[in-house]
Amino acid sequence: MSADAGIKARFMRMAVINLVCVLAAIAAVIAALATGQDWLFAIFGVALAAGFAAQIWFIAAFRRAKEGV
């Protein structure tokens, strides 16, 4: 697999992970506000952190692939 194909594949994985995290975060906030279950805000925080981690993972791979240029 070439470097560009690897970056594109990793980007798609990051995009899917971010989409899942956004949907989980929105669902957690809506459920927390609707039911009064404060522990659901922790789910929101975990989803937010996971989304940021996916972006950092992508950027680190992108920098690693472009080091040889």
pLDDT tens figures, 23-56:
999 999 999 999 999 999 999 999 999 999 999 9
Q: What is the pLDDT of residue 50?
A: 97
Strands (E), 1-69: none
Specify the number of domains making up the chain: 1
Inform me whether the pLDDT recorded for 20 exceeds 90.
yes
Is the pLDDT reported for residue 69 higher than 60?
no
| Domain hosting residue 57, numbered range | 3-66
